[in-house]
């Protein structure tokens, strides 16, 4: 009797998963097969089946590119900094919102901070470039206060900071939504009980809020690491200029220049695949570590 | 210990400042869209319209196809989001259950799709061979779910208290019963979240419509609106038209107006969803 | 379930079946499902799709023309064109910025039209298309059915490798319609105020820049907010003094039997030193490498720019006596703009805008098309019939223009022509010949037409001669875009020297690096092309 029930339950679970599984098979894995063109010299008229195979030649070409190291270094730097500052930012904002007593105010703030997500980088970029330029507002104020003027967007040592901070500005509110959803699951009785025990704000956050957010944080962190070498092309392109190309050129902008030349499907696919392989190794490796240390994992 | 009231005032001050920083560009964009081209093209508009006029919005509203495109966008947003939520919650639920056979491997394969690049040409040929070209399905089905949605939803489902499952089993619920009667009602926050994410994604449908839709009557709002913006640059040699007279609005004003016009409908979705985010809405039925 | 597996198999077949030959089979009935219903509504003007071999489907980009972007079913201009020509044309206007991508998808999936716009027959959008037999060879058809095409389209265009390969013609050029359009624009009212004549020599120009720098020429009380010369991040467009030193970063010159890019010429070093001096002295805006085009225009309209590089066609909409006051927000009553040539340099050289093959884009006809001779006949009509000349210049009689006693009355700023820039529809979007704005028939109807025609003449005079006319994109550059002409390597070096981040001698290091990173190969490839082309 129980066995049959278990079998029936398994059947139900498989049935539940089936549409999704078919979806992933058909709409994700079938197109993914297209990635084999990274090992070909692909031509649209010959198709995948008739284009000549070239083994790892496209990858060799990538590693042989004179600026490969520079581009790789910039991509890694941008990825790590984005993670270092971009990952905690929405968590901190969510925790601050969580402390608010006034519900009405909280709702207004929530709605306002997620608005920049809806603006395009073309518009946001041109606004920030004007603000940050030598004759822009920020330098004008700095000048009046006797501080040195800095051409933020064309200086090698400030360019990355511009990308990171504008990225946070645009996406922090949007990123908060997920954490607010997680926070809504906490039973208020827990806080009350903790207060009776004399736990202060910090203790409550450390022992109730953060552990509760942990699974979401781990998942978001691991997934972001999967895309660590992917930059927001639209964003980088709008800020990138020849004076900072040596510190600002990343894989995606490099690939973009090939898009302009056109027709280099195999080479650009090889680059994308290279980034993905690094992402995969990192995600699966770190996932295993996370499972051992925090008990949380992607699967 | 600090006084709670002082802490609250401090918080309110910080968050107000933050909100102003976030709001400023939007106000700027709104002002640009309401100014006269004379001031807009000279970039003399900041946080208040100069030479107030409504030409941008008149132009948007006067397009006959506008309401039709709005209808298309509402349709794909509503239907697309429902499909997504059904598809995602079902697979996420079964993958959250320890009894699901092969769940670890399935999850691994799904995570892979999150990272691996999806090439455009095979995707296009797939949609074509499924006879979805020039149908609204092509805008909803290929992006119907994603590894991100599945992983997030599964993580939330796993947080539902195990005791409730046992109780439900006692009541004679099978897996389907647990899904409908326990997991879904307790997961409104994550469902609202994924629903919002996907609704925004679907509302902003642009590129896939350019690729998959040829019948202009099926264009969603964003495609129609983007057609109003002249994406021109003198500095590229791609052969764009460079001779125009009587521009009642500048391209920048048009982009600004489009952002306002196309964003407001989706912006107001969030405040409605916010009641699902209220602290303790689940009354402690989740894992403690 | 079954259907899904069927689709997977179909996909597998598709992936393999995209070779040219099989495409042809599919071609005659492109995308039967759902398409037929779309046609009536979508592709304007095709009232009866089955009107035999006189129906021509055209695939092209809207080129950002406002009217074409939002064209409706039953468009009057397409109707009129069909009436005049006796053909049944329908137009599919794809987006402009994503046209390359869309076109390659159409090629990959095999649904093309009868007449297709492409930049060149050897474009990387459809790499190897000629070799794969995708395009119809048009030479014999043109000889038989299109006598006027050879007559009216100049030989310089037919000679271009963009339309022919190995002596065979695969494409029909669409013309720019003018030899050159680049020109300098200068604030004539500022010159007058300063009591200067139009600058001719380098010293005249530098004197003008100096005066603009020290005086408050825009009269707003701040003597420091105007520059003699302004540029923006599109350096290729906004630079106007390379020709003065006998170079253009985009062109090549023959040197001791080898074709060498101007980028690495010693004269280029002089030119860069000149730009560096402009920057150091504050004659040019210091934020030029991050300045977006819209901000550059804003500076011009705010009265912060004394001169800038432009094109003649910009004059009418933005800088003419009628329209400039609607743009120059602070000086609407004073502003006056003149067209001007950049100065001749130390060796008497000057130039702005390289001499070109005069081709705007190229029509190709897919091999599978059944009625190529009809398409050629249509193009022949477009190039030769008097009613076509009139239609592609002035639109529909009685609506866009009137004709009384042989005299044509056409006003470009009349609402019927100017609303949504409707004149672009007949002059450009559905005009299969050329960019109609530059046609003499059109130019002479514009306000200040003498000034504009003189501007085009001056522009043609300063077109920069070079030895790389007709040179196809080099394979070396496709593999290493960074070393190409105007590539990132050159622009980076230029920007760093100009702004003083690096000394002028960094140029020599750039040249050495350039040679090492594939430049030598590029020179070899270019020289080979030159020798075989000019046999």
CATH code (residue C372): 3.40.190.10
Average pLDDT of A209-237? 93
CB atoms inside a 10 Å sphere around CB C519? 21
Both C18 and C167 in one domain: the answer is yes
The CB-side HSE value for C45 (13 A sphere, CA atoms) comes to 22
The answer to whether B109 and C90 have CB atoms below 8 angstroms apart is no
- Distance set, CA C113 to CA A104, C93, C525 (Å): 58, 11, 35
Report the Cα A102 to chain-centroid distance in Å: 32
Contacts of C290 in chain A (CB under 8 A): 129, 133, 153-154, 241
Both C194 and C113 in one domain: the answer is no
Angstroms from C364 CA to nearest CA on chain B: 17
The pLDDT score that the predictor gives to residue C25 is: 35
Both C226 and C374 in one domain: the answer is no
Both C335 and C273 in one domain: the answer is yes
Which residues touch B206 (CB under 8 Å, ≥6 apart)? Answer: B220, B222, B223, B226
The pLDDT score that the predictor gives to residue B227 is: 84
Q: Using CB atoms and an 8 Å cut-off, which of residues 23-42 of chain C contact chain B?
A: 31, 33-35, 37-38, 41-42
Which of B41, B130, B210 lies nearest to residue C298, judging by beta carbons? B41
Q: Would C246 be classed as within a structural domain?
A: yes
Average pLDDT of A190-216? 87
Q: What is the pLDDT of residues B76-101, one digit of tens each?
A: 999 999 999 999 999 999 999 988 99
Both C198 and C326 in one domain: the answer is yes
Q: How many independent structural domains does chain C possess?
A: 2
Q: Would C87 be classed as within a structural domain?
A: yes
- Interchain contact, C421 vs B228, CB within 8 Å: no
Angstroms from A75 CA to nearest CA on chain C: 18
Report the Cα A54 to chain-centroid distance in Å: 33
Both C242 and C163 in one domain: the answer is no
Would an 8 Å CB–CB cutoff place B91 in contact with chain A? yes
Q: Is C171 helix (H, G, I), strand (E, B) or coil?
A: strand
Q: Would C92 be classed as within a structural domain?
A: yes
Both C56 and C174 in one domain: the answer is yes
* Exposure letters C181-206 (e unless 16+ CB within 10 A, then b): bbbbbbbebbbeeeeeeebeebeebb
Which of C104, C293, C317 lies nearest to residue B244, judging by beta carbons? C317
B: neighbours with 3+ CB pairs under 8 Å? Answer: A, C
Q: Would C390 be classed as within a structural domain?
A: no
Query: Which of A116, A177, A181 to mutate: most B Cβ within 10 Å?
Result: A181
Task: State which of C369, C384, C399 marks the end of a domain.
Answer: C384
Both C281 and C221 in one domain: the answer is yes
Nearest-by-CA chain C residue for B240: C63
Q: What is the pLDDT of residues B31-51, one digit of tens each?
A: 999 999 889 888 899 999 999
Pairing of strands C307-311, C407-410: unpaired
Both C138 and C205 in one domain: the answer is no
What is the total residue count of chain B?
288
Mean pLDDT score across all residues of chain B: 87
Nearest-by-CA chain C residue for B45: C298
The pLDDT score that the predictor gives to residue C40 is: 36
Both C134 and C248 in one domain: the answer is no
Average pLDDT of A230-242? 94
Average pLDDT of A281-292? 94
The pLDDT score that the predictor gives to residue C24 is: 36
Tokens of residue A117, six digits? 């997500």
Q: Which helix (H) or strand (E) holds C116?
A: strand C115-118
User: Which string of DSSP letters, residue by residue, matches C188-211?
Assistant: HHHHHHHT-PPP-BHHHHHHHHHH
Q: How far apart are CA C36 and CA A130, in angstroms?
A: 50
Both C480 and C347 in one domain: the answer is yes
Tokens of residue A111, six digits? 């709605």
Both C446 and C527 in one domain: the answer is yes
Residues of chain C with pLDDT under 50: 1-3, 5-6, 8-51
Angstroms from A263 CA to nearest CA on chain C: 5
pLDDT more than 70, % of chain A: 99
User: Which string of DSSP letters, residue by residue, matches C36-95?
Assistant: HHHHHHHSTT-S-TTSGGGEEEEEEE-TT-HHHHT--TT-HHHHHHHHHHS-EEEEEEE-
Residues of chain B with pLDDT under 70: 1-3, 232-243, 245-247, 278-288
Q: How far apart are CA B32 and CA A4, in angstroms?
A: 68
Would an 8 Å CB–CB cutoff place C412 in contact with chain B? yes
Q: Would C411 be classed as within a structural domain?
A: no
Contacts of B240 in chain C (CB under 8 A): 63-64, 96
ipTM: 0.93
The pLDDT score that the predictor gives to residue A298 is: 87
Which of C127, C233, C294 lies nearest to residue A43, judging by beta carbons? C127
Q: Would C397 be classed as within a structural domain?
A: no
Q: How far apart are CA B171 and CA B178, in angstroms?
A: 10
The pLDDT score that the predictor gives to residue B7 is: 87
User: Which residue range is the domain that position C97 belongs to?
Assistant: 2-178+358-384
pTM: 0.90
Residue A240: phi, psi to the nearest 5?
-65, 140
Tokens of residue C220, six digits? 């707003």
Angstroms from A274 CA to nearest CA on chain B: 10
The pLDDT score that the predictor gives to residue B151 is: 96
Q: Would C84 be classed as within a structural domain?
A: yes
Average pLDDT of A102-113? 91
């Amino acid at each position: 009797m129980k066995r049959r029930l278990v079998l029936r339950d398994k059947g139900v679970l498989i049935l539940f998963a089936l549409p999704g599984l078919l979806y992933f098979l058909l709409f994700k894995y079938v197109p993914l097969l297209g990635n084999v063109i990274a090992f070909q010299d692909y031509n649209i008229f010959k198709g995948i089946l008739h284009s000549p195979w070239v083994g790892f030649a496209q990858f060799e070409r990538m590693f042989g590119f004179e600026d490969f190291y520079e581009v790789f270094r910039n991509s890694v730097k941008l990825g790590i900094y984005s993670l270092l500052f971009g990952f905690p930012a929405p968590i901190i904002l969510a925790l601050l919102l969580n402390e608010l007593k006034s519900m009405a105010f909280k709702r207004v703030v929530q709605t306002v901070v997620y608005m920049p997500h809806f603006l395009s980088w073309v518009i946001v970029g041109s606004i920030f470039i004007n603000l940050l330029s030598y004759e822009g507002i920020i330098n004008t104020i700095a000048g009046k206060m006797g501080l040195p003027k800095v051409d933020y967007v064309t200086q090698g040592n400030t360019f990355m900071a511009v990308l990171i901070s504008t990225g946070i500005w645009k996406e922090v509110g949007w990123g908060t939504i997920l954490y607010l959803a997680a926070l809504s699951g906490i039973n208020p009785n827990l806080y009350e009980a903790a207060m009776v025990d004399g736990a202060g704000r910090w203790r409550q956050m450390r022992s109730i809020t953060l552990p509760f957010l942990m699974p979401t944080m781990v998942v978001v962190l691991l997934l972001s690491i999967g895309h660590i070498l992917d930059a927001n092309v639209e964003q980088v392109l709008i800020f990138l200029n020849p004076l900072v190309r040596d510190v600002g050129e990343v894989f995606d902008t490099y690939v973009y220049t090939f898009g302009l030349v056109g027709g280099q499907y195999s080479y650009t696919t090889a680059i994308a695949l290279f980034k993905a392989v690094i992402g995969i190794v990192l995600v699966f490796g770190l996932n295993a570590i996370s499972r051992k240390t925090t008990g949380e994992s992607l699967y | 210990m600090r006084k709670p009231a002082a802490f609250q005032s401090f918080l309110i001050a910080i968050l107000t400042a933050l909100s102003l920083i976030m709001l400023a560009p939007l106000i700027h964009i709104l002002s640009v869209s309401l100014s006269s081209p004379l001031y807009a093209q000279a970039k003399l508009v900041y946080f208040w319209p100069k030479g107030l006029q409504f030409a941008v919005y008149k132009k948007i509203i006067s397009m006959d196809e506008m309401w039709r495109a709005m209808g298309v966008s509402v349709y794909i947003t509503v239907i697309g989001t429902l499909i997504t939520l059904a598809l995602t919650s079902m697979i996420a639920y079964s993958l959250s259950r320890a009894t699901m056979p092969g769940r670890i491997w399935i999850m691994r394969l799904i995570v892979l799709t999150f990272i691996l690049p999806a090439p455009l040409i095979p995707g296009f040929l797939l949609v074509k061979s499924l006879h979805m070209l020039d149908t609204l399905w092509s805008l909803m089905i290929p992006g119907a779910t994603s590894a991100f949605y599945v992983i997030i939803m599964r993580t939330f489902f796993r947080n539902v208290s195990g005791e409730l499952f046992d109780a439900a089993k006692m009541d004679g619920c099978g897996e389907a019963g647990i899904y409908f009667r326990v997991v879904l009602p307790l997961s409104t926050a994550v469902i609202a979240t994924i629903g919002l994410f996907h609704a925004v994604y679907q509302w902003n449908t642009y590129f896939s419509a350019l690729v998959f839709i040829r019948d202009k009557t099926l264009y969603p709002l964003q495609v129609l609106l983007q057609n109003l913006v002249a994406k021109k640059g003198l500095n590229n040699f791609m052969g764009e038209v460079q001779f125009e007279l009587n521009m009642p609005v500048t391209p920048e004003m048009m982009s600004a107006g489009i952002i306002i016009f196309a964003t407001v409908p989706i912006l107001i979705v969030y405040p409605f969803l916010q009641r699902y985010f209220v602290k303790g809405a689940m009354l402690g039925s989740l894992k403690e | 379930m079954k259907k899904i597996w069927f689709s997977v198999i179909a996909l597998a077949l598709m992936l393999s079946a995209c070779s040219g030959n099989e495409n042809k089979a599919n071609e005659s009935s492109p995308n039967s499902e759902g398409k037929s219903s779309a046609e009536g509504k979508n592709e304007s003007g095709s009232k009866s799709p089955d009107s035999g071999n006189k129906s021509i489907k055209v695939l092209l980009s809207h080129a950002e023309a406002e009217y074409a972007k939002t064209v409706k079913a039953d468009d009057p201009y397409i109707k009129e064109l069909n009436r005049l020509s006796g053909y049944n044309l329908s137009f599919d206007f794809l987006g402009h910025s994503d046209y390359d991508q869309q076109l390659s998808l159409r090629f990959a999936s095999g649904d093309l039209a009868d007449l297709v716009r492409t930049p060149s027959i050897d474009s990387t959008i459809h790499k190897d298309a000629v070799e794969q037999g995708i395009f119809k060879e048009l030479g014999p058809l043109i000889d038989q059915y299109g006598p006027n095409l050879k007559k009216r389209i100049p030989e310089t265009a037919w000679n271009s490798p963009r339309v022919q390969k190995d002596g065979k013609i695969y494409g029909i050029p669409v013309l720019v319609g003018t030899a050159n359009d680049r020109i300098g624009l200068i604030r004539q009212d500022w010159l007058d105020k300063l009591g200067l004549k139009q600058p001719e020599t380098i010293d005249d120009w530098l004197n003008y820049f100096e005066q603009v720098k020290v005086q408050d020429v825009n009269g707003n009380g701040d003597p420091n907010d105007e520059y003699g010369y302004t540029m923006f991040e599109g350096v290729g467009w906004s630079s106007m003094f390379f020709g003065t030193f006998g170079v253009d970063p985009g062109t090549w010159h023959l040197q001791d039997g080898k074709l060498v890019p101007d980028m690495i010429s010693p004269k280029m070093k002089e030119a860069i030193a000149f730009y560096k001096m402009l920057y150091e002295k504050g004659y040019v805006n210091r934020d030029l490498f991050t300045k977006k085009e819209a901000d550059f225009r804003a500076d011009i309209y705010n009265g912060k720019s004394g001169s800038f590089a432009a094109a003649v066609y910009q004059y009418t909409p933005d800088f003419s006596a009628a329209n400039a006051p609607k743009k120059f927000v602070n000086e609407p009553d004073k502003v006056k703009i003149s067209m001007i040539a950049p100065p001749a340099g130390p060796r008497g050289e000057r130039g702005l805008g390289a001499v070109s093959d005069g081709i705007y884009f190229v029509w190709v006809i897919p091999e599978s098309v059944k009625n190529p001779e009809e398409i050629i006949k249509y193009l022949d009509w477009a190039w030769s019939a008097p009613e076509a000349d009139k239609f592609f210049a002035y639109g529909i009689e009685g609506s866009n223009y009137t004709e009384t006693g042989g005299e044509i009355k056409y006003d470009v700023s009349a609402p019927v022509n100017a609303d949504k820039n409707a004149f672009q529809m007949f002059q450009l979007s559905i005009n299969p010949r050329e960019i109609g704005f530059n046609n003499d028939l059109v130019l002479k109807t514009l306000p200040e037409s003498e000034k504009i025609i003189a501007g085009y003449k001056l522009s043609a005079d300063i077109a920069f001669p070079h030895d790389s006319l007709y040179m196809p994109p080099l394979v070396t550059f496709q593999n290493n875009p960074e070393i190409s002409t105007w590539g990132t390597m050159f622009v980076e070096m230029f920007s760093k020297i100009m702004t003083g981040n690096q000394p002028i001698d960094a140029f020599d290091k750039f040249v050495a690096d350039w040679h090492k990173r594939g430049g030598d190969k590029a020179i070899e490839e270019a020289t080979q092309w030159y020798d075989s082309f000019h046999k």
